């Protein structure tokens, strides 16, 4: 930082250390699970799906994700995010959503955050014993995040208090045109949530269908045979 008249201004340092530190802070803030850290859209695989139809769906999702990252600065103005859905677990929804967040942080230096719906609800609940206004402040903080991945929306059994909090978060983010990337095990119109929430998600995100196929087992098998080849070789 340097003092310039009334203002403190950040000046780029010659060695790039401050920029690197800023990037590291952004990655830490993102709280992306270790399983997914460092993954990018480019290393999202489309060869691990079984049928041609599923490969095609995965390829389409990857193209959308790649162009979304490339054109992020312009798209950000519109406030439109993405909604990845498929009824099968292990089809790569979280993997691609997190990769987009990683790429946005690294290529555009914009802050992103990852949270499952359960984590958001737990964080809200944890403010309940605190002083007045703590919950409101947390919700405002969640609304302010430039890019938020909300993982597994719609899987929790909804109660009134949950719907009210989600409505506040999504409505706030919609009004402020913040980017939200959702993953879910059902299509937007099938979400068992209040209509007001469903309407907001429809406005805030482009639905992208994922293959109804789990690649978890295929990938684990490949990893094991690679390891075996290495251990025997």
Ligand X SMILES: Nc1ncnc2c1ncn2[C@@H]1O[C@H](COP(=O)(O)OP(=O)(O)O)[C@@H](O)[C@H]1O
* Footprint of ligand X (CB under 6 A): 35, 44-45, 48, 58, 89-95, 183, 215-216, 219
Nearer to Mg ion, 27 or 154 (CB): 154
Task: State the minimum distance, in angstroms, from the CB of residue 147 to ligand X.
Answer: 18
Report the partner that residue 216 touches, choosing among ligand X, Mg ion, none (CB closer than 5 to 8 A by kind): ligand X
Report the partner that residue 95 touches, choosing among Mg ion, ligand X, none (CB closer than 5 to 8 A by kind): ligand X
Q: Which stretch binds Mg ion (CB under 5 A): 41-49, 94-102, 156-164, 206-214?
A: 94-102
Nearer to Mg ion, 69 or 154 (CB): 154
Nearest to 94 by CA among 34, 164, 143: 34
CB 184 within 8 Å of CB 83: yes
Please tell me the distance from the alpha carbon of residue 91 to that of residue 189, in angstroms, as a whole number. 20
Whole-angstrom Cα Rg for the chain = 20
Nearest to 68 by CA among 149, 154, 140: 149
> Can you tell me whether residue 84 is helix, strand or coil?
strand
User: Is residue 94 close enough to count as binding Mg ion by CB under 5 A?
Assistant: yes
User: Is residue 86 close enough to count as binding Mg ion by CB under 5 A?
Assistant: no
Nearer to ligand X, 59 or 123 (CB): 59
Nearest to 72 by CA among 103, 113, 97: 103
Q: Which stretch binds Mg ion (CB under 5 A): 29-37, 86-94, 102-110, 136-144?
A: 86-94
Task: State the minimum distance, in angstroms, from the CB of residue 204 to ligand X.
Answer: 20
Which residues lie closer than 8 Å to 90 by C-beta, 6 or more apart? 214, 215, 216, 217
Nearer to ligand X, 91 or 111 (CB): 91
């Amino acid at each position: 930082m340097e003092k310039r008249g009334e203002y403190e201004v950040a000046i780029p340092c010659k060695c790039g250390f401050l920029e690197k530190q800023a990037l590291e802070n952004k990655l830490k803030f993102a709280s992306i699970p270790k399983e997914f850290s460092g993954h990018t859209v480019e290393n999202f695989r489309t060869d691990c799906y079984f049928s041609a139809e599923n490969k095609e769906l995965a390829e389409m999702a990857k193209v959308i994700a790649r162009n979304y990252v490339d054109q992020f600065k312009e798209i950000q103005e519109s406030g439109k995010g993405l909604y990845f859905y498929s009824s099968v677990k292990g089809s790569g929804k979280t993997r691609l959503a997190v990769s987009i967040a990683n790429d946005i942080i690294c290529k555009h230096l914009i802050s992103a955050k990852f949270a499952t719906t359960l984590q958001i609800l737990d964080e809200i609940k944890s403010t309940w014993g605190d002083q007045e206004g703590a919950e409101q402040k947390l919700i405002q903080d969640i609304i302010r995040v430039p890019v938020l991945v909300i993982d597994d929306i719609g899987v929790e059994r909804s109660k009134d208090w949950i719907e009210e909090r989600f409505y506040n978060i999504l409505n706030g983010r919609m009004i402020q045109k913040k980017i939200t990337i959702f993953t879910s095990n059902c299509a937007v119109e099938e979400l068992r949530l209040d209509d007001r929430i469903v309407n907001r998600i429809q406005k805030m995100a482009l639905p992208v269908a994922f293959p109804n196929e789990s690649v978890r087992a295929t990938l684990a098998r490949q990893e094991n045979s690679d390891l075996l080849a290495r251990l025997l070789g």
